Structure 1
Amino acid sequence: MAASLNQVDQNLKDLMVFHDVARALTSSLDLDTILRSIMQQMELFFQPETWSLLIVDEARNDLFYAVAVGHAESELRDMRIPMSEGFAGWVADTGETLIVPEASLDPRATSLPENRISFQVRSALCLPIRSRMRTIGVLQLFNCRFETLTPYTVSFLHVLCDFAAIAIENAKSVQRIQELTITDDCTGIYNVRHLYSQLEAELARSRRFNVPFSLIFIDLDHFKLINDEYGHLAGSRLLAEFAQALKLTVRRVDIVFRYGGDEFMVLLPETTKEEAREAAIRLYSEMRDKSFDIGVGSTVKIKSSYGVATFPEDGAFIHELIRTADSMLYMVKETSRDGVAVAGEGITHASPSFLVR
């Protein structure tokens, strides 16, 4: 009788765990918050010394740490694990649960990132997080109490992994929706809506820390000739090719946007006017020399005009700063085209404009 009551009590506790996890899934869209809520329930059962949850990056064919708990969390966050490498890589590749009672006897332990940051992995329990017949993540528990591992508790862990899979898929869906709202359909770069959002954030940050930032406004010269001669599909292809080349040419901290039509904007955080001028001239030179495949058996080179403005000297507000960069752009367009103009300095770099096919 007592054993039956204990079992009922345990079943009620388990139901409360699932209730709490389900509530976490519906109360937040933040993946980190949800995963930590789920895994806190796991810790109560298995008391591992540390644990981590990794997500598969299908584009790069590796895994990254979505959540890592313990003294080495900050170090693990930046590490990536190739598929098939270590415990997590093996689980992600095979989709099977891995139980390692003695890690020192397993050759896969030699490549564990945890062992490279002064944490000794003595034992491991790794489970796949699966959704739609594929592995999307891996849960790792290190140095847990193996006496707690029973068929029931392992099944309990798999249920928690199913909840984690739901959270990850929901987060990816939200991210895809968010990306659609801020991405330009034609070019694949950020749209003007996201530009204004980023400018508001950058303006607030620059005011708070008293640092400058700059804008480069770009307009393609004689773009209409491409549409007239090759058609609008070729013109759209050129815009996409130009946008991606621009994105690859700027610094990693810079952000590229399509402003509209054949106009683009580059946001340069913490960048002085002198640095922005040099960046614009470098962009001008590199983009001028590139050939673009427009998809009709032809490649073209196209010239561009550039206008530069810097916060705070060229505008204390977003629209004022854009207006200044735009006026510099059209200073180039109305004179030589194919050049760079900087607010307060005028045209600083220019050459005769022509379209080369």
Structure 2
Amino acid sequence: MENMKKPAGLLTRGMIGLGLAGLIGASSWIAVYGATPLVNRMVEANVRHQADVWERHLATVVPNLRTAFGRGAFDADDATMLRRILGATDIYQMQIYDASGRAIWSSAGPHSHAPTLPADRSDTALQGQVFYQLSQKSALEVLYTETAALGSSAQTRDVAEAIVPVAENGAYLGSLRFYTDVSDLRSIFMAQIRPLLALIGGLIIAAILTVGLVVYRGNQRQLRDLRNRAKAERDLMDEQLRLAREVRLLGELNEWLQSSRSLDELFQMVSRFMTHILPEAEGSVYVYSNSRDVLDGCASWNEGTHKAHIHPEGCWGLRRGRTYEFGASEIDFICEHAEPHDGRPYFCFPILAHGETVGLLHLRAHSGQEKVFHSSKKLARLCAEQISMAIANVQMRDQLHDQSVRDPLTGLFNRRHMTDTLRKSISRSQQTGAPLSLIAVDVDHFKKFNDTHGHDAGDMVLRAVGAALEQGCDRDEVACRIGGEEFMLILPDNTPEEVMTRAEQIRQAVEAIAVRYGEKSLPRVTISVGVAHYPAHGTMPQDLMRTADEALYAAKDKGRNQVQTAAMNSADAKPNLPKSQLPASAA
């Protein structure tokens, strides 16, 4: 028996020795490789602090900062002072850009940098954030004041790039971009961190050794420990399987939400996924209306319901700006949108996007699922984050699309949108026989007005005319600015007589406009109007636009400030169109 115990003891000691060797190796690996991410964070914090200091230095060195950025150049004295300060730092290159992203100064000369700031970096600066990036560059690319400091063994150097926004009194002026060699700084940090990690690893090894010795000597408790461990491993496996499923569903949710084309489609996806991700809870989602005074109910799932509108003051989560959990404290208050309430716990997650609250995710536990519901708070918060990012993306995409089809001065649709809409309206009219007309509008004597009163006054007139045209549109009618002082209106489902009446009303509305510029009133504004009908005056977009312009020119030739209909030209209309599609005047 003793002979059998000896090999067992040797085997046990051998396993302990192997375990120690493995732990020591792991500790060494942590000390060598685990220090890199910590050091990188320390370097980043140092560079970001340096960027903040430079932002303040710039205002000190350049007294007339706003003037310098405005004219896109620095005085010789300011540039000399900047280069002198740079010589005392590790920064080997600095560039300054104006608000549009155009380079206006560089420490290495006017031709040593890109003329414009890359879009991703410019966007970060516009948002008031510091851009940071760490990379390795060839030692030959890094310019030093003392070239002897560049050793022959240094093939590459660690270089940090930072871009900090420059502002004055809250106004964004531009950005400051610099490159600094952080190789020596990283070495210093590495020398400090690695011994600390090695010490921590040693402490971990000592703790594990102690535990191992206790387990080795506790022969009577070994079987019980093994059973408990087996149970813990089974629980851990179940937890890992649950987490894997949740991660998979969250990934799928994010992928589908990012591909949604509209908010309605997005909320349908949310309803389906939330049913599977959190089956123990019913829920609903609300989004702020355009007026920001109420939230509109958009979707609900798992037998949940949502109200058409709720007020932000009626939700404790929105009022306090953070997650509200009903049922977690001895004293709770019920949100107005949760009424009628039956005592079941619920969550209210404010949906945030780019630091702004855009909506609310409300989840309520099913009866008998309260314990599971409370444990799912972290998962529910992750779902809220995914939903918030998707809502922000859809809203931003809609905003960008709106900007691409809108005239920035008047807010009316632009020529591109007008052409697409006119083409679709003609196709619809061909299929249904519905009437369609096009109105061309031109501001009378606008060039003379512009030359006399200035372009700012001219812009005010264009905005006023655009507002009058937009107010004159109903339903699917579209007002567009196609360029300069020229406008067009697409009027479907109106008879020719109604179109002429509408055109005259619009002319009178513009004539009644009183535009004030500064402390004086501008002269009366009038317009000339030309009207063309489909298909009498053309069956193609370019034909209708041409004939409407011809009618417009006829109105100008007859003295301006009047409405004229395009002359009937049988060659412009298709001979095979049914009589029902011709306007009364052509029939």
TM-score, L = length of structure 2: 0.50
Say whether residues 1:108 and 2:332 are aligned partners: no
| Among 448, 454, 465, the residue aligned to 1:231 | 454
| Among 210, 216, 222, the residue aligned to 2:439 | 216
| Among 313, 337, 345, the residue aligned to 1:84 | 313
State the partner residue of 1:185.
408
RMSD: 3.1
Which amino acid in the other structure matches residue 83 of structure 1? P
Secondary structure of the 1:84 match is helix
Question: Does structure 2 retain, via aligned residues, the 8 Å contact 1:242–1:292?
Answer: no
State the partner residue of 1:290.
513
List per-residue Cα deviations over 1:178-227 (Å, max 9, x = no partner): 12221112222211011011112222222222212222111111112221
Question: Does structure 2 retain, via aligned residues, the 8 Å contact 1:35–1:167?
Answer: no
| Among 1, 23, 33, the residue aligned to 2:265 | 33
State the partner residue of 1:351.
none
Question: Does structure 2 retain, via aligned residues, the 8 Å contact 1:130–1:136?
Answer: yes
Change in 2 beyond 3 A, CA 1:4/1:142: closer
List per-residue Cα deviations over 1:145-168 (Å, max 9, x = no partner): 561553431221111110111111
Say whether residues 1:153 and 2:153 are aligned partners: no
Q: In the aligned structure 2, how far is the partner of 1:154 from the partner of 1:211?
A: 56
State the partner residue of 1:95.
321
| Among 251, 256, 261, the residue aligned to 1:19 | 251
Secondary structure of the 1:300 match is coil
Change in 2 beyond 3 A, CA 1:38/1:186: same
Say whether residues 1:140 and 2:369 are aligned partners: no
List per-residue Cα deviations over 1:33-72 (Å, max 9, x = no partner): 3443344222124448974322223544322244456999
Question: Does structure 2 retain, via aligned residues, the 8 Å contact 1:221–1:338?
Answer: yes
Question: Does structure 1 retain, via aligned residues, the 8 Å contact 2:439–2:529?
Answer: yes
Secondary structure of the 1:150 match is helix
Question: Does structure 2 retain, via aligned residues, the 8 Å contact 1:84–1:93?
Answer: yes
Which amino acid in the other structure matches residue 352 of structure 2? R
Q: In the aligned structure 2, how far is the partner of 1:289 from the partner of 1:91?
A: 50
Q: In the aligned structure 2, how far is the partner of 1:340 from the partner of 1:195?
A: 21
| Among 552, 559, 562, the residue aligned to 1:329 | 552
Change in 2 beyond 3 A, CA 1:324/1:237: same
Say whether residues 1:172 and 2:395 are aligned partners: yes
Question: Does structure 2 retain, via aligned residues, the 8 Å contact 1:234–1:295?
Answer: no
Question: Does structure 2 retain, via aligned residues, the 8 Å contact 1:64–1:80?
Answer: yes
TM-score, L = length of structure 1: 0.80
Which amino acid in the other structure matches residue 15 of structure 1? V
Q: In the aligned structure 1, how far is the partner of 2:498 from the partner of 2:236?
A: 75
Change in 2 beyond 3 A, CA 1:107/1:94: closer
List per-residue Cα deviations over 1:112-153 (Å, max 9, x = no partner): 7xxxxxxx8766643211123331111234674561553431
Q: In the aligned structure 2, how far is the partner of 1:145 from the partner of 1:178?
A: 45
1:296 is displaced (CA, Å) by 6.5
Question: Does structure 2 retain, via aligned residues, the 8 Å contact 1:130–1:165?
Answer: yes
Say whether residues 1:274 and 2:506 are aligned partners: no
Secondary structure of the 1:271 match is coil
Change in 2 beyond 3 A, CA 1:274/1:145: farther
Q: In the aligned structure 1, how far is the partner of 2:500 from the partner of 2:413?
A: 23
Question: Does structure 2 retain, via aligned residues, the 8 Å contact 1:250–1:283?
Answer: no
Q: In the aligned structure 2, how far is the partner of 1:231 from the partner of 1:4?
A: 75
| Among 421, 429, 433, the residue aligned to 1:198 | 421
Which amino acid in the other structure matches residue 254 of structure 2? A
Structure whose alpha-carbon radius of gyration is higher: 2
Question: Does structure 1 retain, via aligned residues, the 8 Å contact 2:405–2:416?
Answer: yes
Question: Does structure 1 retain, via aligned residues, the 8 Å contact 2:285–2:361?
Answer: yes
Say whether residues 1:248 and 2:474 are aligned partners: no
Change in 2 beyond 3 A, CA 1:60/1:136: closer
Q: In the aligned structure 2, how far is the partner of 1:168 from the partner of 1:146?
A: 32
Secondary structure of the 1:302 match is coil
Number of equivalences: 328
State the partner residue of 2:235.
3
State the partner residue of 2:526.
303
Question: Does structure 1 retain, via aligned residues, the 8 Å contact 2:284–2:304?
Answer: no
Question: Does structure 2 retain, via aligned residues, the 8 Å contact 1:235–1:294?
Answer: no
1:307 is displaced (CA, Å) by 1.1
Question: Does structure 2 retain, via aligned residues, the 8 Å contact 1:288–1:304?
Answer: yes
Q: In the aligned structure 1, how far is the partner of 2:420 from the partner of 2:402?
A: 13
Change in 2 beyond 3 A, CA 1:72/1:280: farther
Q: In the aligned structure 2, how far is the partner of 1:241 from the partner of 1:275?
A: 24
- Sequence identity (%): 25
1:241 is displaced (CA, Å) by 2.1
Q: In the aligned structure 1, how far is the partner of 2:280 from the partner of 2:552?
A: 60
Which amino acid in the other structure matches residue 269 of structure 2? S
Q: Which has the higher contact order (CA 8 A, sep 6+)?
A: 1
Q: In the aligned structure 2, how far is the partner of 1:236 from the partner of 1:227?
A: 9
Question: Does structure 2 retain, via aligned residues, the 8 Å contact 1:183–1:191?
Answer: yes
Q: In the aligned structure 2, how far is the partner of 1:275 from the partner of 1:7?
A: 70
Say whether residues 1:341 and 2:569 are aligned partners: no
Change in 2 beyond 3 A, CA 1:197/1:71: farther
Q: In the aligned structure 2, how far is the partner of 1:312 from the partner of 1:10?
A: 65
Q: In the aligned structure 2, how far is the partner of 1:279 from the partner of 1:72?
A: 48
Q: In the aligned structure 2, how far is the partner of 1:143 from the partner of 1:275?
A: 58
1:4 is displaced (CA, Å) by 2.6
1:288 is displaced (CA, Å) by 0.9
Question: Does structure 1 retain, via aligned residues, the 8 Å contact 2:529–2:562?
Answer: yes
List per-residue Cα deviations over 1:279-327 (Å, max 9, x = no partner): 1111111111111234564333201111112223322221111122111
Q: In the aligned structure 2, how far is the partner of 1:177 from the partner of 1:64?
A: 23
Unmatched 5+ stretches in structure 1: 113-119, 346-357
Secondary structure of the 2:463 match is helix
Secondary structure of the 2:313 match is coil
Unmatched 5+ stretches in structure 2: 1-230, 328-332, 569-587
Q: In the aligned structure 1, how far is the partner of 2:262 from the partner of 2:565?
A: 42
Question: Does structure 1 retain, via aligned residues, the 8 Å contact 2:530–2:548?
Answer: yes
State the partner residue of 1:354.
none
